[in-house]
Structure 1
Amino acid sequence: MKRISKIAVFSALIAFTSFSCESNSDSPDSGTPSTGTGKTKYIITATTGAVGIADYLLTADDITTGSITTAGNGLEQDGSYRYYITNQNKFFSLLYGQGNPGAVTSYALSEEGKLVKTSNFQAETVHVFAAVNKDILTIKVPRSGAASIASMYKIDTEKSLIVGEAQQDTKKLAGNGERAFFTWATQVGEKVFMPYMSIKGDGVDNFGTANPDSTWVAVYNYPELKLEKVIKDNRTSYLGAYFTNGLIQDENGDAYGFSGAIATSNAVLTSTKPSAVVKIKKGTTEFDQSYFFNVQEKSGGYKIASSTYISKGKVLLLMYGNPGKNSGAVKLAIADVYNQTFTWVTNVPATLTSATSRYNIVTEDGNSAVLGINTPDGNWIYTINGTTAVATRGMKVEGGQITAIAKLKY
């Protein structure tokens, strides 16, 4: 669920000197969080694919060169699926409990730059998690059966405690005989925008829909999480995808939504509208009808799989590899949402087994995206320049496929 090695409509998309591997064999509980030295440490997560084993957490000072390995190195996470988010200079690891409650473990960096476990508590298995102010907002969304109430939880990142909860009836929210399934949540100004897909949830074709050509964004106030309105459009399909963010806010306060136009019914692609980008102007809760970026047309027929915002309107797009379909080995591109231009990334391997999608970072200068690329010949961290669309290969990761990249200060 974390990678795009088998791209399908509801697979969770999951992201100087020579470096010598450092050991994190010491207990993660040793040490205390740093009070601030101004240095950066990168966290690379990698999975060996072993049953019951989640990612290893590896740390490095430099990811532009050298190599690192999971062999005898790093902190092993428990459980089969782990998901990650950073906020307030903490790294949170969430266990996907397959419907059962899962552990939430938080880490910080000590003054020596080592990962320090700062908390560990149980929480509901969730499908959405996003940084909102100093909190992490998580959402558990039912997909079938009689249950239709989505539960929203606010986690205080300083206390590592759940400090608030709200609920939403997803059938009532959809209002069309189906149910709303939130794809993600994004803070836009002082509100939280939650794009959702309309799904049958009938136990037979849970994620299928009779409404493939519509877009919805539910707007909630914060911190009360009270529904204010639903923003609607019909020029493309739903934004994002299962476990995949499809809405970003730029430096100007405008929001841009990314649709793969990959809605299905009984596993057959039924979207008739193009994969595209739509816009919500700062301070408004309506789609800008004067703006429509037809990415499918500009790319020669390809559809958006996921997006990572860089800066100044530049976005790294992961595209499905088969034109017009929600399948095929991933391809990388840079889109400029201001000028509505599309450029394929160059200097990348010919065949990508998978690439990190939700767990990528931006360089300190704000001009490039950093992601993990896994290939049949090895796994590397790449930097993609948002202006030139040229990829530069950096650190090699051995002993496991890259699933996420993050960074913290210490």
Structure 2
Amino acid sequence: MNIINNTMDTIWLKKIFFFSILATTLISCSEDNVVTPPQKSSTKYVVAFEANPVGKEEPIDYILELPSLEALTSGEINVKNKGIPQTGWRFFHQTNNTLFTAGYSKDVTCKSYEISTEGVLQEKSKFTFDKTLDSYASTEDGKMIAVELSYDGLGQKRFHIVDAKTGKVERIIAHDIDIDKGDGTKENPGSIPWVTGMVQRGNKLFVSYHKWLADGSYKTPDTERAYIAIFSYPSFEFEKIIYDTRTSPIGINGHNTGIVKTENGDLYSYSSSALSAGFTSAIKPSAILKIKNNTTEFDNDYFFDVENAPNGGKVYWMSYIGNGKAIARIINDDSVGAYEWGAFLKTDVLKMVVIDFYNKTVTDIAGIPNPHGQRYTTPAFIENGKVYISVTTPIETRVYIVDPESASAKKGAKVDAKSLKGIFKLKTDA
């Protein structure tokens, strides 16, 4: 009997030992297979781009949340099973921690996005407008200013003042900007101001522009001087227009950086004078002008002739990157595509450079595939002293990381897109 009992006890102990090991193993395996959810972050990097079409589908714009800044430096960025699709072709603009995405042509809706308290990119609100919002700027008091523009008609320009906190329009103000009504005849149809940049400095709003004839011909009159309209801000009372005859109208169609502000409050503007960038007359050189801080006139002692500088040419676009420098695209040969918007449409007419406002130098950026094409240029994104910007060639769209001090670039992530329209850093609003 004792032998039987001892045997049963031994078997029972072995079973307990076996099941204890089994339970421990199962628990261990279960812990190994636990999927840790991604950490929620109050800061997100977001890109906006025109994704390559699938099959016969039309290309469509997306906004996409990136896992980190490093996603811009290698690999491929795409919207396979991710991203937020938009409707058609759109403009993108960031004010503080709100990303605005506005429709073009018949799409008259502007949506705003934010990072939620849960760390997720989400739609905040939306509003509608009458005509395409073609020019955008951010103010020091957290507003986005967006202007309705058109190629014909002599109506006033409607400035939408949008609160970035809510994403909603606070007020709409209509202004002539530059009154040139003509007499209504074919010979003198008047002209339309086309905004190419807006900068707020204290209680002033500086608005750069060029002009179209108001007959829908896309001809550009008054091309032998630069002009900027100055308004009071936030009251939006018109104050005056300033002129400079050393160069041509400021900025070009489709770009919002005709005028920029430096850290010390000085303003700099660029004039393209390019027949391949939409102008029908170009006599004066492509150049940069300056408006000193606390003044409202062009600085007669400053003039940078970019067109005739070493490594220079006609400026197609520029973006201020700090310390008196801008990253810019320059047209290599303005005769290519002259009068045919060649700088917008051709793929081998531009090069990327660093422009030094203070020392009046132009430096080619090594490592960029020059020449290249870029119909609408991505705003330069700056982080830790480096500039992240896209380049589109006939082969691909790719991010490049530029060191402005050495004027050199490294190849970054490939983007499965026709064009990259923006790189943004958004934080959860407190």
TM tier, shorter chain? Answer: 0.7 to 0.9
Structure 1 residue aligned with 2:63: 57
Structure 1 residue aligned with 2:79: 70
> Alpha-carbon deviation of 1:183?
1.9
Structure 2 residue aligned with 1:401: 419
> Alpha-carbon deviation of 1:238?
0.8
Q: State which of 344, 350, 354 in structure 1 corresponds to 2:374.
A: 354
Whole-angstrom distance in 1 between the partners of 2:156 and 2:75: 48
Whole-angstrom distance in 1 between the partners of 2:79 and 2:419: 10
Structure 1 residue aligned with 2:261: 249
- Which structure has more relative contact order (CA 8 Å, sep 6+)? It is 1
Task: Judge conservation of contact 2:137–2:146 (CA < 8 Å) in 1.
Answer: yes
Report whether the alignment pairs 1:183 with 2:190: no
Whole-angstrom distance in 2 between the partners of 1:264 and 1:322: 9
Which amino acid in structure 2 is aligned with residue 255 of structure 1?
Answer: L
Structure 1 residue aligned with 2:208: 195
Report whether the alignment pairs 1:84 with 2:92: yes
**Which aligned pairs between 1:118-267 and structure 2 lie closer than 5 A?**
118-124=124-130, 125-132=132-139, 133-145=141-153, 147-170=154-177, 172=179, 177-203=190-216, 205-209=217-221, 211-244=222-255, 245-262=257-274
> Alpha-carbon deviation of 1:114?
2.9
Whole-angstrom distance in 2 between the partners of 1:303 and 1:208: 17
> Alpha-carbon deviation of 1:57?
1.4
Q: Report the secondary structure of 1:105's partner residue.
A: strand
Structure 1 residue aligned with 2:393: 375
> Alpha-carbon deviation of 1:160?
2.0
CA distance 1:225–1:71, change in 2 (3 Å)? same
CA distance 1:347–1:195, change in 2 (3 Å)? same
Whole-angstrom distance in 2 between the partners of 1:362 and 1:150: 32
Count of aligned pairs: 366
Bigger helix share: 2
Task: Judge conservation of contact 1:155–1:161 (CA < 8 Å) in 2.
Answer: yes
1:182-211 deviation per Cα after TM superposition (whole angstroms, max 9, x unaligned): 2221222332111111321222x23421x2
Whole-angstrom distance in 2 between the partners of 1:268 and 1:317: 19
CA distance 1:400–1:215, change in 2 (3 Å)? closer
Structure 2 residue aligned with 1:102: 108
Which is worse superposed, 389-398 or 105-114?
105-114
Percent identity reads: 26
1:238-278 deviation per Cα after TM superposition (whole angstroms, max 9, x unaligned): 1111121210000000000011113699x774211111100
> Alpha-carbon deviation of 1:370?
1.2
Structure 2 residue aligned with 1:31: none
Please give the TM-score of this superposition, normalised by the length of structure 2: 0.78
Whole-angstrom distance in 2 between the partners of 1:149 and 1:89: 30
CA distance 1:287–1:268, change in 2 (3 Å)? closer
> Alpha-carbon deviation of 1:43?
2.3
Structure 1 residue aligned with 2:303: 292
Whole-angstrom distance in 2 between the partners of 1:179 and 1:122: 23
Q: Report the secondary structure of 1:384's partner residue.
A: strand
Structure 1 residue aligned with 2:21: none
Which amino acid in structure 1 is aligned with residue 47 of structure 2?
Answer: I
Structure 2 residue aligned with 1:278: 289
Mark the structure with the bigger radius of gyration. Answer: 2
Report whether the alignment pairs 1:389 with 2:407: yes
Whole-angstrom distance in 1 between the partners of 2:163 and 2:284: 40
Which amino acid in structure 2 is aligned with residue 346 of structure 1?
Answer: A
> Alpha-carbon deviation of 1:378?
2.4
Q: State which of 47, 51, 62 in structure 1 corresponds to 2:51.
A: 47
Whole-angstrom distance in 2 between the partners of 1:239 and 1:281: 17
Task: Judge conservation of contact 2:192–2:211 (CA < 8 Å) in 1.
Answer: yes
Structure 2 residue aligned with 1:93: 101
Q: Report the secondary structure of 1:78's partner residue.
A: coil
Q: Report the secondary structure of 1:376's partner residue.
A: coil
Task: Judge conservation of contact 2:219–2:280 (CA < 8 Å) in 1.
Answer: no
Report whether the alignment pairs 1:337 with 2:365: no
CA RMSD of aligned residues (A): 2.6
> Alpha-carbon deviation of 1:324?
6.4
CA distance 1:368–1:355, change in 2 (3 Å)? farther
Instruction: Note the residue ranges of structure 2 that are not aligned, 5 or more in a row.
Output: 1-39, 183-187
